[in-house]
Amino acid sequence: MRFRVLTTASLLALAGCHLHSDPPGEAPSGVMVTPGEGLVTVSWNRDPELTYWIFYQPGSSVTPAAPGVPLIFDAIPPRVIAGLANDTQYAFIMNATRDDSKAGPSSPVIVKTPRLAGAEWVSSTAAVGGTSQNLNGIAFNGSRLVVVGNLGTIFAGDYNYTSTNPLGVTAWMPATSVPPGFTANLSAVIFSGLFVALGTDGSILKSTGGLTWTSATAISTVAGMSGIAFGVVNGAGIYVAVGGGGNIFTSPDLVTTWTPATSTTSNALYSVSFLNGGFVATGAGGTLLTSTDGIGWTAQTSNTLSTLRGTAFRSSPALYVVVGDAGTIVTSTDSTTWNPPIAPPPVPQNLSGVRFGSRFVAVGQVGAVAYSDDGMTWSVTSAGSADLSGVVFTPAMYVAVGATGANAFSK
- Both 78 and 151 in a single domain? no
Long-range CB pairs of 59-67, under 8 A, 24+ apart, other chains included: 59/89, 59/90, 59/91, 60/89, 60/91, 60/109, 60/111, 61/91, 61/109, 62/91, 62/92, 62/93, 62/109, 63/93, 64/93, 64/95, 64/103, 64/106, 65/8, 65/11, 65/12, 65/15, 65/103, 67/8
Mean pLDDT of all residues in 233-243: 97
- Domain end: 72, 89, 112, which one? 112
Residue 112: what pLDDT?
98
* Burial class of residue 23 in the structure, from the number of CB atoms within 10 Å of its CB (0-12 exposed, 13-18 middle, 19+ buried): middle
Q: Is residue 56 part of a domain?
A: yes
What domain count does the chain have?
2
- Both 68 and 127 in a single domain? no
Decide if 82 contacts 3 (C-beta within 8 A). Answer: no
- Both 399 and 330 in a single domain? yes
Mean pLDDT of all residues in 32-50: 98
Q: Is residue 395 part of a domain?
A: yes
Residue 13: what pLDDT?
38
User: Which residues, in sequence order, are CB contacts of 158 under 8 Å at separation 6+?
Assistant: 143, 144, 145, 169, 170, 171
- CA proximity to 377, closest of 316, 325, 331: 331
Count Cα atoms within 13 angstroms, Cβ side, for 23.
15
Q: Is residue 3 part of a domain?
A: no
- In this predicted structure, the answer to whether residue 286 has a pLDDT above a threshold of 60 is yes
Residue 221: what pLDDT?
73
Q: Is residue 100 part of a domain?
A: yes
- In this predicted structure, the answer to whether residue 108 has a pLDDT above a threshold of 70 is yes
Q: Is residue 24 part of a domain?
A: yes
What CATH number should be reported for the domain holding residue 230? 2.130.10.10
- Both 277 and 337 in a single domain? yes
Q: Can you tell me the distance from the alpha carbon of 271 to that of 225, in angstroms, rounded to the nearest whole number?
A: 9
Residue 20: what pLDDT?
66
Residue 220: what pLDDT?
85
- Both 133 and 102 in a single domain? no
Mean pLDDT of all residues in 266-270: 97
Q: Can you tell me the distance from the alpha carbon of 210 to that of 147, in angstroms, rounded to the nearest whole number?
A: 9
| Banded model confidence at residue 16, pLDDT cuts 50, 70, 90 | very low
Q: Is residue 261 part of a domain?
A: yes
- Both 176 and 66 in a single domain? no
- Both 49 and 126 in a single domain? no
Mean pLDDT of all residues in 89-97: 98
Q: Is residue 127 part of a domain?
A: yes
Residue 222: what pLDDT?
79
Residue 6: what pLDDT?
41
Cis peptide leading into 166, omega within 30 of 0? yes
Percentage of the chain lying above the pLDDT 70 cut? 95
- Both 87 and 216 in a single domain? no
- Domain end: 112, 145, 170, which one? 112
- Both 145 and 101 in a single domain? no
What CATH number should be reported for the domain holding residue 19? 2.60.40.10
Residue 188: what pLDDT?
98
- Both 168 and 52 in a single domain? no
| Banded model confidence at residue 1, pLDDT cuts 50, 70, 90 | very low
Residue 402: what pLDDT?
98
Mean pLDDT of all residues in 234-240: 97
Residue 208, H or E segment: none
Residue 9: what pLDDT?
38
- Both 108 and 125 in a single domain? no
For 254: left if phi > 0, alpha if psi spans -120 to 50, otherwise beta; the answer is left
- Both 194 and 315 in a single domain? yes
Q: Is residue 1 part of a domain?
A: no
- In this predicted structure, the answer to whether residue 175 has a pLDDT above a threshold of 60 is yes
- Domain end: 112, 132, 149, which one? 112
| Banded model confidence at residue 2, pLDDT cuts 50, 70, 90 | very low
Residue 265, H or E segment: none
pLDDT for 114-143, tens place per residue? Answer: 999 999 999 999 999 999 999 999 999 999
Q: Can you tell me the distance from the alpha carbon of 175 to that of 147, in angstroms, rounded to the nearest whole number?
A: 10
Residue 208: what pLDDT?
98
Residue 375: what pLDDT?
97
Q: Can you tell me the distance from the alpha carbon of 186 to that of 183, in angstroms, rounded to the nearest whole number?
A: 9
Residue 18 vs residues 4, 26, 97: alpha-carbon distances, Å: 21, 21, 12
Residue 4: what pLDDT?
39
Name the strands in the sheet holding 379-382, side by side, starting at the edge strand that comes first in the sequence. Answer: 351-356, 360-364, 368-372, 379-382
Q: What is the mean pLDDT of the chain?
A: 95
pLDDT for 347-398, tens place per residue? Answer: 999 999 999 999 999 999 999 999 999 999 999 999 999 999 999 999 999 9
Least confident of 60-64, 222-226, 238-242: 222-226
Decide if 250 contacts 262 (C-beta within 8 A). Answer: no
pLDDT for 179-228, tens place per residue? Answer: 999 999 999 999 999 999 999 999 999 999 999 999 999 998 778 999 99
Q: Which domain holds residue 235?
A: 121-410
